[in-house]
């Protein structure tokens, strides 16, 4: 049985001295040390680089922890974040064979070695968990994984522990050592800052989205017939975007553009927007200005740079007869083509001043009838196939809610 290195002051680790040897043996040993040092430095460089690139937090943590596990030659690794309200540790990321099951596991902050590290903010190596009372065996029971050794470091940012990073079992059965722990602590420090930055970034985005939704609701409220229009257009446009395999960034741009597409109506007189019946030529020309007004409103907001083009071109037609620029075919951004389809589908299927709502089937026929002339055929078919799939999934018996 290997000795248990964990002590009351777990940051002080007993490291076995290297055996005294010949000059040649020392040279080989020193060369090995240098190589291991380089590998760790390379890991920290990659972690820093990955952490500084803005992206979805879960994807970033996923990559950082996988790199760490590979470099430290461990069997499994995970990051657990603290849920302050529930006083629990949640597996934000877990790889290895048991990763999928672990993501369902919640650990009380009083439980396990990870809980101890989270509470005390100290890193730790336990090379034989059977000799450590803090070890919480229930996680292994849930996953079927057999934990032999754990190395765990806190994720600390602005003096506060927000979670822990841990690696389990060296692949070759050897012990984790002080250099391994130093590497894990450094990775934890970088990951903690990256996680915190991502959360701050997300809260700014959420703030922007809230403001955008409030603006869109203000526009929708100008006309009782278009209440909720922007939110429905978001849902329809995203159905098409997902069907066309838009990237996460492209979907976000499409979402924001869908929320804001009619923001320019803020500059159009209420007497025009809420006029019962058809508009005269002068009123109609004024109405046609709303995409340009909308694009001008969001012009100069760097966060909405890519959104601007979609707002500006959401009334272009595939045959070039739309407005404001008469763009044709592929010259119209794909997001704007999808937005046009989603906008029209919602207009047809909701009550208007001049008619009552028509069925989804009627709207689909109309989109297909106008495909190639008014609408991009790819956008039309992507939306229709995704909409019909969604409808079928909602109509499946297992998706129905039982009513007593
Ligand atoms: Fe519009």
The CA 316 to ligand 1 mean position distance, Å, reads 10
In tens, the pLDDT along 343-373 reads 999 999 988 766 788 899 999 999 999 999 9
Calculate mean pLDDT across residues 310-323: 97
Can you give the pLDDT at residue 20? 43
The CA 50 to ligand 1 mean position distance, Å, reads 40
pLDDT value at 162 more than 80 = yes
CATH architecture of 223-399: Orthogonal Bundle (1.10)
Can you give the pLDDT at residue 138? 86
Quote the CA–CA distance of 154 and 80 in Å, as a whole number. 10
The CA 373 to ligand 1 mean position distance, Å, reads 18
Q: Which of 41-47's residues contact partners 24+ apart within 8 Å by CB, and which partners? A: 42/71, 43/67, 43/68, 43/71, 43/183, 43/187, 44/183, 44/186, 44/187, 44/190, 47/186, 47/187, 47/190, 47/191
Can you give the pLDDT at residue 106? 80
Return the higher-pLDDT residue of 183 and 198.
183
The CA 339 to ligand 1 mean position distance, Å, reads 9
The CA 315 to ligand 1 mean position distance, Å, reads 6
Return the higher-pLDDT residue of 45 and 345.
345
pLDDT value at 6 more than 60 = no
The CA 391 to ligand 1 mean position distance, Å, reads 26
pLDDT value at 27 more than 80 = no
The CA 362 to ligand 1 mean position distance, Å, reads 21
The CA 263 to ligand 1 mean position distance, Å, reads 8
Q: What tokens does 396 get?
A: 């499946």
The CA 300 to ligand 1 mean position distance, Å, reads 21
- In this structure, of 109-113, 161-165, 220-224, the range with the lowest mean pLDDT score is 220-224
In tens, the pLDDT along 196-225 reads 888 888 888 888 888 888 888 887 777 666
Q: How confident is the model at residue 291 (pLDDT cuts 50, 70, 90)?
A: very high
The CA 309 to ligand 1 mean position distance, Å, reads 13
Task: Identify how many contiguous H helices and E strands the chain contains and give both numbers.
Answer: 15, 6
The CA 204 to ligand 1 mean position distance, Å, reads 27
The CA 317 to ligand 1 mean position distance, Å, reads 13
269's CB contacts (< 8 A; 6+ apart) are: 286
φ, ψ for residue 347, nearest 5 deg: -60, -40
The CA 313 to ligand 1 mean position distance, Å, reads 9
Calculate mean pLDDT across residues 86-114: 81
The CA 18 to ligand 1 mean position distance, Å, reads 74
The CA 337 to ligand 1 mean position distance, Å, reads 12
Quote the CA–CA distance of 43 and 70 in Å, as a whole number. 10
Can you give the pLDDT at residue 402? 36
The CA 290 to ligand 1 mean position distance, Å, reads 7
pLDDT value at 129 more than 90 = yes
Q: How confident is the model at residue 11 (pLDDT cuts 50, 70, 90)?
A: very low
Can you give the pLDDT at residue 59? 73
Can you give the pLDDT at residue 33? 60
The CA 226 to ligand 1 mean position distance, Å, reads 11
In tens, the pLDDT along 233-275 reads 999 999 999 999 999 999 999 999 999 999 998 889 888 887 8
% of the chain at pLDDT higher than 70: 82
In tens, the pLDDT along 367-391 reads 999 999 999 999 999 999 999 999 8
Calculate mean pLDDT across residues 101-116: 85
The CA 338 to ligand 1 mean position distance, Å, reads 13
The CA 243 to ligand 1 mean position distance, Å, reads 23
φ, ψ for residue 140, nearest 5 deg: -60, -40
Q: How confident is the model at residue 22 (pLDDT cuts 50, 70, 90)?
A: low
Q: Which residues of 142-160 are buried (b: 16+ CB within 10 A; e: fewer)?
A: ebebebbbbbbbbbbbeee
Q: Where are the domains of the chain?
A: 23-199, 223-399
CB 162 within 8 A of CB 155: yes
Task: Return the CATH fold of 23-199.
Answer: Beta-Lactamase (3.30.450)
Return the higher-pLDDT residue of 27 and 241.
241
The CA 311 to ligand 1 mean position distance, Å, reads 8
């Amino acid at each position: 049985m290997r000795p248990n290195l964990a002590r009351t002051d777990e940051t002080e680790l007993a490291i076995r001295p290297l055996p005294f040897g010949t000059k040649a043996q020392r040279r080989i040993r020193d060369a090995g040390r240098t190589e291991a040092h380089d590998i760790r430095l390379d890991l920290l460089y990659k972690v820093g680089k990955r952490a500084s690139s803005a992206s979805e937090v879960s994807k970033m943590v996923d990559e950082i922890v996988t790199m760490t596990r590979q470099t430290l030659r461990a069997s499994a690794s995970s990051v657990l974040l603290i849920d302050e309200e529930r006083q629990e540790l949640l597996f934000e990321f877990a790889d290895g064979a048991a990763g999928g099951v672990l993501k369902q596991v919640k650990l009380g902050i009083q439980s396990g070695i990870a809980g101890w590290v989270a509470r005390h903010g100290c890193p730790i190596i336990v090379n034989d968990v059977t000799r450590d009372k803090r070890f919480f065996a229930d996680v292994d029971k849930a996953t079927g994984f057999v934990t032999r050794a754990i190395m765990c470091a806190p994720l600390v940012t602005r003096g506060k522990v927000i979670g822990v990073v841990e690696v389990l079992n060296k692949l070759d059965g050897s012990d984790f050592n002080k250099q391994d722990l130093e590497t894990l602590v450094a990775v934890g420090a970088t990951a903690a800052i990256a996680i915190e930055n991502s959360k701050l970034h997300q809260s700014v985005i959420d703030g922007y989205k809230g403001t955008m939704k409030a603006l869109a609701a203000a526009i929708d409220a100008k006309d009782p017939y278009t209440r909720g229009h922007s939110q429905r257009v978001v849902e329809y446009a995203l159905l098409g975007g997902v069907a066309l395999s838009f990237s996460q960034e492209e979907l976000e741009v499409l979402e924001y553009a869908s929320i804001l597409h009619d923001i320019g109506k803020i500059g159009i007189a209420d007497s025009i927007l809420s006029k019962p019946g058809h508009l005269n030529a002068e009123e109609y020309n004024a109405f046609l200005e709303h995409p340009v007004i909308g694009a001008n409103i969001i012009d100069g907001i760097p966060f909405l740079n890519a959104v601007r083009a979609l707002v500006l071109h959401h009334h272009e037609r595939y045959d070039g007869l739309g407005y404001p620029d008469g763009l044709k075919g592929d010259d119209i951004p794909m997001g704007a083509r999808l937005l046009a389809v989603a906008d029209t589908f919602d207009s047809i299927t909701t009550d208007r001043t001049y008619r009552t709502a028509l069925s989804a089937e009627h709207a689909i026929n109309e989109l297909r009838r106008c495909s190639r002339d008014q609408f991009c055929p790819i956008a039309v078919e992507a939306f229709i196939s995704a909409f019909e799939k969604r409808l079928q999934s909602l109509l499946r018996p297992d998706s129905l809610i039982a009513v007593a």
